[in-house]
Amino acid sequence: MDPKKEDRCVFCEIVAGRAKAHRIYEDDLSLAILDINPFSKGHCLVIPKRHVPWWHDLTEEEVESLFRVARAVSQKIMKAFSPDFVAIYARGRRIPHTHIFVVPTYGGDVLDRFFNALEGFQEATIELAKLKSEEEFQEAADLLRSA
């Protein structure tokens, strides 16, 4: 990775202590911080301390750490805010440094509505319905197994 790009990465700046963040929890490989653009109170990001744009390029140890920290933060969120659910999902497109969103969600909030709409879309469209055929499942399974 180009060290100059890492120097411009906001998450690398946070890890290095050069940028402000509300640190919630960390271990040797990962750090959880409050998101500065939260979907709800307590919305955190879990980031690897090493600059890695895509989560599938992390080492096994980094993946384990990332999800261990995400779980610990989820437990803290449940205790602190008592949400209906804690949603997690991986991102990295807008800020090309792997991060997992850890978001307390409540029935009817923005994420609940979004995921309900997404699930409705997933179940209702003709294009996606085609993916449910046994032939499509078998082709996808064969491609994934041989990759």
> CA torsion 63→5→39→44, rounded to 10°?
40
Element (H, E) at 26: strand 23-26
Q: Which amino acid is at 81?
A: F
Active-site residue flag, 99: yes
Considering the candidates 43, 51, 97, 99, report the single residue annotated as catalytic. Answer: 99
The 44-48 sheet, strands edge to edge: 23-26, 30-34, 44-48, 99-105, 85-91
Catalytic positions: 99
